[in-house]
């Protein structure tokens, strides 16, 4: 390139209009470092404290099958109940609680030491010399002081020189505002020959100081080196030991080897992701430093010269070479010179959401979240885990959210195409899903992938929906916001998606991920419990309850969470408030600043459709809700059961169909607006859907209040009493579903309708590419009417949502549904003979043998006492010699029920029956002695004789099963 080439034009939009977003990515890397280190430290401490791996023995005793998948292992834990944690507390040795924290603190201290010593190492004698050593006449000092003033640094750095470095470059290092700029010897020698190049290089390094890059960069380097040097080798050594030990067990060996393989894969991918994310951040900050140096007057010819003659030139022609060059560029901490030069001319890449950045952010966030659960899995850590999970959810959505806001702001200011958010949501969601696969939390010990990976699409759908909402809300805010900065509007939008994603992410971490393993609920058990608990019969009640039993696991617990109302409300109440603003005129102050003096476009008000048009769609959906509710009441009136049987199955079916009617009306309103709205279709559809759901539920509540006075529409009430309080429990039950989960379903329908409309219509120039036409200003009374309408809706929804969030008395309601009924027996794995033997052996060693011995001792004591003739004739003898053993057998039955069931189900049936007989006989024995009833006492003694005859067979079966596998593990 010629030295006389003109400098490229100054970038049109300030690249920091809404921040760079790199700080959030650095924060995510720091979280990943901390959680990874804490997880590895915990694992190593557990191995050292429990060298015999008794924890696995407790899992085997609980019925866990090492050859099963995640679902089977999880169901075994549910089947065991509280016995597993009791086994761990009793038998598994643990290190002191402070040990993992002390080790982690030591690692952080080591990282702090590395951070402190790195600048000393870089600035050691023999490598660098003071500036005066190469500039004794002081020619450089005035020039450097001038550049420091140009950069606006309040505290000048120390300048040193590396004489042995022949390159014409420089580097910044230091700590806690004590920074040094090291000038390479080649740069100092080039100063007279190329003063503008010297100036550009120094300004670039000073820009790093102005942007506060150094501390975060060196902190990351310190943590990364401590992780690679201290944590990772210890972890790999532990895995090597586990692989060595797994060869000695034919039962646990395959599962342990697959688990260790998964851990090794996760470690390798995590290291690659961390390196890619760090390199991406550093490349971005190099570009920002270039732009700052250019803004401070640096000559762009240096970048042209480097791009033409330096390293990192554009790849040679050829698809394979270009792909290879692009791949290798991902691993570099400095962008290629041709990319740096292009960014000076058009920094659009700084505003576009990058696929790799979002994918890596999503994957690393999932890995960190899984490790966070492993670290905080102890008792009493639930509250801390919920708080940290919510904070992490905010970090996850903030990274793509900020990038979408930046891209939308640039597109509006430059008249470009407005991003839809689909791309950002897709890559973020895909990263979350891939990270979930890498953590193995849904796959178990016998497979690399979960049984139902399609369940992971939920993460992608949530991400896509939130980013599409963010893109439309960002455009709405950019076109209407007035003020000195756009950041408050962005923070409001990010807070909204944080609330929503925190709710769904917490659900996924706690319950949702289990759907990737299979169906963990017994529909038959739920249906039978409903039939038992809810009196009354209606036509086809078993079929209706079967459908309800299938849907219940999907609705609980998130569908009835009081927080889902707040999450749904922010998605449609914030856009609703846009109708309360006056039309925007002129250019806002933040836009003038972002364009840095360039001519600013006139940002007119958002092209929202008239509110009456939205209310027409709302009216259609509301009419459907009301007509459907009336028709439902008329139909149910025809098979109305007697009054005493109306508040069971009949009422449940009535409420279910009322909810379905409201859902249908809401989805109709969302579909109509999604198909017809030209601008902001998702936001407008959510407003229509939310208003429809509110009015539809209100209509159902009014009809419920008048129930009993409606003649052929009477459903539940038996007399005419208009009492609004009587429908409040119904509103409490339906509100989280109608104005919570229903709103998210409506958002999905609106997105599908918008996509269908776009696919059916021919491509046309988008409205964002042309100056928006705000139309004539509305009359004042119209604005007042809109404000009154929006205010009434907002206040009503907020008041109801707050009321639903208040703690309330659940009453004395209970259910006959037990954990055992919830377990789908078809999903319980049938262990192989070898595994069953190992499970039985562990069952015996960790408490079963003791229960068997105590049971045998007590029964033999009773039978021995019966040999005395006074046993049936002397009440005092029975009270002193027999009664204590009867009481002991009663208590022993309770202890046995609290312990693990016998792994073999047939043997467990016999073992449980033995203790149940012993418990009944003990109660009869005690009652017969205390009340002096000889017949009752004699019957109890006959039961003990029968129990004594049955006991050896049961115990022999258990011992024989355990003996088959003692040599195999």
Q: How confident is the model at residue 355 (pLDDT cuts 50, 70, 90)?
A: confident
- Rounded to the nearest 5 percent, the helix, strand and coil shares of the chain are 70, 0, 25
Across residues 203-208, what is the average pLDDT? 92
Residues 743, 568: contact at Cβ < 8 Å? yes
Of 60-64, 178-182, 346-350, 908-912, where does mean pLDDT reach its minimum?
346-350
Q: What is the pLDDT of residue 757?
A: 85
Across residues 303-322, what is the average pLDDT? 64
Q: What is the pLDDT of residue 5?
A: 35
| Structural tokens at position 460 | 């992608």
Question: What's the Cα-to-Cα distance from 805 to each of 556, 570, 649, 795, rounded to whole Å?
Answer: 16, 15, 27, 15
Across residues 876-894, what is the average pLDDT? 92
Residues 507, 558: contact at Cβ < 8 Å? yes
Q: How confident is the model at residue 514 (pLDDT cuts 50, 70, 90)?
A: confident
Residues 891, 918: contact at Cβ < 8 Å? no
- Per-residue DSSP letter, 12: S
Question: Nearest-CA neighbor of 580 among 792, 793, 787, 776?
Answer: 787
Q: How many CB atoms lie within 10 A of CB 872?
A: 15
The residue ranking higher by pLDDT, 856 or 266, is: 856
Across residues 606-627, what is the average pLDDT? 89
The residue ranking higher by pLDDT, 620 or 447, is: 620
Q: What is the pLDDT of residue 446?
A: 63
Question: Which alpha helices (H) appear in 639-769, and where do they start and end?
Answer: 649-676, 681-705, 728-736, 742-760
Q: How confident is the model at residue 772 (pLDDT cuts 50, 70, 90)?
A: very low
Across residues 697-718, what is the average pLDDT? 89
Q: What is the pLDDT of residue 597?
A: 65
26: left (phi over 0), alpha (psi -120 to 50) or beta: alpha
Q: How confident is the model at residue 630 (pLDDT cuts 50, 70, 90)?
A: very high
Question: Nearest-CA neighbor of 474 among 462, 458, 485, 490?
Answer: 490
Q: Angle at Cα 691 formed by Cα 668 and Cα 714, nearest 5°? A: 80
Q: Tell me: pLDDT of 773 over 50.
A: no
| % of the chain with per-residue pLDDT over 90 | 32
Across residues 750-776, what is the average pLDDT? 63
Q: How confident is the model at residue 540 (pLDDT cuts 50, 70, 90)?
A: low
Of 43-57, 616-630, 831-845, where does mean pLDDT reach its minimum?
43-57
Contacts of 79 (CB under 8 A, 6+ apart): 62, 63, 819, 820, 823, 828, 901
Q: What is the pLDDT of residue 213?
A: 83
Q: Tell me: pLDDT of 387 over 50.
A: yes
Q: What is the pLDDT of residue 774?
A: 44
Dihedral Cα 470, 471, 475, 476, nearest 10 deg: -40
Across residues 516-531, what is the average pLDDT? 74
Rounded Cα distance, 393 and 386, in Å: 10
* pLDDT tens figures, 111-128: 999 999 988 888 776 688
Q: Tell me: pLDDT of 882 over 80.
A: yes
* pLDDT tens figures, 401-444: 999 999 998 888 888 888 999 999 999 999 999 998 888 676 65
Rounded Cα distance, 257 and 567, in Å: 43
Across residues 373-386, what is the average pLDDT? 76
Q: What is the pLDDT of residue 884?
A: 93
Residues 459, 433: contact at Cβ < 8 Å? yes
Q: What is the pLDDT of residue 781?
A: 45
Rounded Cα distance, 488 and 893, in Å: 64
Q: How many CB atoms lie within 10 A of CB 905?
A: 12
State in Å, rounded, how far the first CA of the chain is from the last one.
Answer: 73
Rounded Cα distance, 856 and 896, in Å: 13
Buried b (16+ CB within 10 A) or exposed e, 544-572: bbbebbeebbeeeebbbbbbbbbbbbbbb
- The residues that bridge with 143 in the sheet, in sequence order, are none
Q: Angle at Cα 246 formed by Cα 244 and Cα 249, nearest 5°? A: 130
* pLDDT tens figures, 659-678: 999 999 999 999 999 998 88
Rounded Cα distance, 63 and 901, in Å: 8
The distance from CA 582 to its chain's CA centroid, rounded to whole angstroms, is 38
Question: What's the Cα-to-Cα distance from 504 to each of 390, 453, 460, 559, rounded to whole Å?
Answer: 10, 18, 12, 11
Across residues 435-461, what is the average pLDDT? 81
Of 141-145, 183-187, 417-421, 515-519, where does mean pLDDT reach its minimum?
515-519
Q: What is the pLDDT of residue 895?
A: 93
Q: Tell me: pLDDT of 631 over 60.
A: yes
* pLDDT tens figures, 226-241: 888 988 888 888 888 8
Question: Nearest-CA neighbor of 303 among 279, 352, 336?
Answer: 336
| Structural tokens at position 445 | 């010990």
Q: What is the pLDDT of residue 190?
A: 85
Q: What is the pLDDT of residue 102?
A: 86
Question: Nearest-CA neighbor of 360 among 459, 428, 461?
Answer: 428
DSSP 461-477: HHHHHHHHHHHHHHHHH
Rounded Cα distance, 927 and 938, in Å: 11
Q: How confident is the model at residue 826 (pLDDT cuts 50, 70, 90)?
A: low
Q: How many CB atoms lie within 10 A of CB 89?
A: 11
Rounded Cα distance, 818 and 244, in Å: 42
Count of all residues that appear for the chain in the document: 969
Residues 451, 69: contact at Cβ < 8 Å? yes
The distance from CA 923 to its chain's CA centroid, rounded to whole angstroms, is 51
- Per-residue DSSP letter, 580: G
* pLDDT tens figures, 146-174: 999 999 988 899 999 998 888 888 999 98
**Rg of the chain over CA atoms, in angstroms?**
36
Longest dimension (CA), the chain: 123
Rounded Cα distance, 117 and 46, in Å: 32
Q: What is the pLDDT of residue 38?
A: 82
Rounded Cα distance, 896 and 442, in Å: 32
Report whether the peptide linkage leading into residue 428 is cis, meaning its omega lies within 30 degrees of zero. Answer: no
Q: How confident is the model at residue 47 (pLDDT cuts 50, 70, 90)?
A: confident
- The phi, psi pair for 161, rounded to 5°, reads -130, 140
Residues 8, 300: contact at Cβ < 8 Å? yes
Q: Tell me: pLDDT of 967 over 70.
A: no
Across residues 514-534, what is the average pLDDT? 75
Dihedral Cα 592, 593, 598, 603, nearest 10 deg: -30
**Mean pLDDT over the full length of the chain:** 83
Of 461-475, 600-614, 876-890, 901-915, where does mean pLDDT reach its minimum?
600-614
Dihedral Cα 161, 166, 168, 172, nearest 10 deg: -40
Give the full edge-to-edge strand order of the sheet including 129-130: 129-130, 158-162, 178-184, 170-175
Q: What is the pLDDT of residue 603?
A: 67
Q: Tell me: pLDDT of 765 over 70.
A: no
């Amino acid at each position: 390139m010629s030295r006389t080439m003109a400098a490229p034009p100054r970038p049109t939009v300030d690249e920091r209009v809404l921040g760079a977003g790199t700080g959030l990515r650095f924060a995510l890397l720091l979280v990943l470092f901390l959680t990874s280190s804490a997880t590895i430290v915990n694992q190593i401490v557990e191995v050292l404290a429990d060298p015999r791996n008794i924890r696995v023995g407790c899992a085997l005793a609980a019925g866990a099958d090492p050859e099963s998948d995640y679902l089977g292992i999880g169901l075994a834990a549910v089947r065991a109940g509280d016995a597993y944690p009791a086994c761990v507390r009793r038998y598994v040795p643990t290190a002191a609680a402070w040990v993992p924290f002390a080790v982690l603190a030591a690692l952080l201290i080591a990282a702090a030491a590395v951070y402190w010593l790195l600048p000393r190492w870089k600035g050691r004698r023999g490598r660098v010399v003071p500036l005066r050593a190469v500039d004794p006449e002081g020619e450089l000092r005035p020039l450097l002081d001038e550049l420091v003033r140009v950069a606006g640094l309040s505290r000048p750095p120390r300048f040193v020189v590396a004489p042995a470095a022949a390159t014409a470059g420089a580097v910044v290092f230091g700590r806690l505002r004590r920074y040094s700029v090291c000038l390479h010897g080649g740069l100092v020698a080039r100063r007279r020959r190329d003063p503008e190049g010297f100036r550009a290089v120094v300004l670039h390094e000073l820009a790093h100081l102005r942007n506060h890059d150094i501390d975060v960069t060196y902190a990351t380097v310190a943590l990364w080196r401590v992780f690679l040097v201290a944590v990772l080798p210890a972890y790999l050594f532990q895995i090597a030991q586990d692989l060595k030990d797994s060869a000695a067990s034919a039962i646990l060996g395959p599962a342990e080897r697959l688990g260790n393989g998964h851990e090794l894969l996760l470690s390798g991918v995590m290291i690659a992701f961390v390196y890619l994310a760090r390199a991406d951040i550093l490349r971005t900050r190099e570009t920002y430093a270039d732009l700052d140096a250019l803004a401070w007057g640096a000559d762009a010819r240096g970048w042209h010269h480097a791009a033409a003659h330096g390293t990192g030139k554009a790849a040679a022609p050829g698809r394979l070479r270009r792909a290879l060059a692009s791949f290798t560029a991902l691993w570099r901490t400095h962008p290629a010179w041709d990319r740096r030069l292009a960014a000076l001319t058009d920094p659009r890449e700084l505003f576009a959401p990058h696929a790799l950045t979002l994918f890596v952010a999503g994957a690393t966030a999932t890995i960190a979240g899984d490790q966070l659960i492993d670290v905080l899995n102890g008792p009493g850590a639930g509250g801390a885990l919920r708080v940290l999970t919510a904070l992490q959810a905010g970090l996850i959505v903030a990274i793509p959210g900020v990038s979408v806001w930046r891209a939308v702001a640039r597109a509006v200011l430059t008249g470009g195409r407005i991003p839809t958010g689909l791309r950002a949501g897709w890559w973020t969601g895909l990263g979350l899903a891939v990270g979930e696969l890498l953590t193995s939390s849904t796959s178990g010990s016998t497979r690399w992938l979960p049984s139902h990976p399609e369940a992971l699409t939920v993460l992608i759908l949530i991400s896509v929906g939130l980013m599409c909402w963010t893109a439309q809300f960002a455009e709405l805010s950019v076109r209407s916001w007035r003020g000195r900065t756009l950041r408050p509007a962005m923070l409001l939008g990010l807070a909204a998606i944080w609330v929503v994603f925190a709710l769904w992410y917490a659900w996924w971490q706690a319950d949702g991920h289990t759907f990737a393993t299979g169906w963990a609920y017994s529909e038959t058990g739920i249906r039978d419990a409903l039939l038992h608990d809810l009196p009354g019969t209606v036509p086809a009640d078993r079929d209706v309850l079967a459908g309800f039993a299938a849907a219940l696991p999907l609705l609980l617990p998130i569908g009835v969470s009081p927080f889902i109302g707040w999450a749904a409300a922010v998605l449609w109440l914030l856009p609703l408030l846009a109708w309360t603003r006056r039309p925007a005129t002129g250019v806002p102050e933040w836009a003038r600043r972002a364009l840095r003096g360039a001519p600013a476009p006139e940002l007119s008000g958002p092209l929202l459709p008239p509110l009456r048009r939205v209310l027409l769609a709302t009216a259609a959906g509301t009419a459907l809700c009301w007509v459907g509710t009336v028709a439902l009441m008329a139909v149910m009136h025809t098979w109305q059961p007697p009054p005493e049987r109306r508040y069971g199955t009949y009422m449940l079916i009535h409420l279910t169909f009322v909810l379905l009617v409201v859902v249908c009306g809401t989805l109709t309103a969302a579909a109509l607006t999604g198909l017809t709205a030209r601008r902001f279709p998702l936001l407008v559809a959510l407003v229509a859907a939310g208003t429809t759901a509110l009015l539809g539920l209100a209509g159902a509540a009014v009809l419920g209040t008048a129930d009993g006075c409606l003649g052929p529409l009477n459903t539940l009430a038996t007399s005419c009493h208009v009492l609004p309080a009587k429908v409040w429990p119904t509103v409490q039950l339906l509100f989280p579903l109608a104005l919570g989960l229903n709103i998210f379903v409506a958002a999905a329908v609106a997105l599908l309708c918008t996509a269908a409309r776009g696919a059916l219509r021919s491509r046309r120039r988008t409205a964002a590419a042309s100056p928006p036409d705000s139309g004539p200003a509305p009359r004042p009374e119209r604005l007042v009417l809109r404000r009154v309408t929006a205010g009434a809706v907002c206040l009503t929804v907020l008041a109801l949502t707050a009321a639903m969030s208040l703690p309330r008395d659940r009453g004395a309601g209970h259910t006959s549904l037990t954990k055992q009924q919830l377990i789908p027996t078809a999903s319980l794995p049938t262990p192989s003979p070898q595994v069953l033997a190992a499970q039985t052996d562990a069952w015996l060693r960790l408490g079963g043998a003791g229960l068997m011995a105590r049971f045998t001792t007590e029964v033999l004591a009773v039978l021995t006492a019966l040999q005395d003739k006074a046993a049936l004739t002397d009440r005092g003898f029975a009270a002193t010699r027999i009664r204590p053993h009867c009481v002991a057998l009663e208590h022993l039955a309770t202890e046995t029920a609290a312990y693990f069931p016998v792994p073999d189900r047939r043997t467990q049936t016999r073992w449980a029956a033995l203790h149940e007989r012993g418990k009944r006989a003990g109660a009869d024995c005690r009652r017969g002695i205390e009340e002096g009833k000889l017949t009752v006492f004699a019957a109890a003694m006959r039961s003990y004789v029968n129990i004594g005859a049955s006991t050896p067979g049961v115990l022999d079966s258990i011992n024989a099963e355990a003996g088959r596998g003692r040599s195999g593990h």
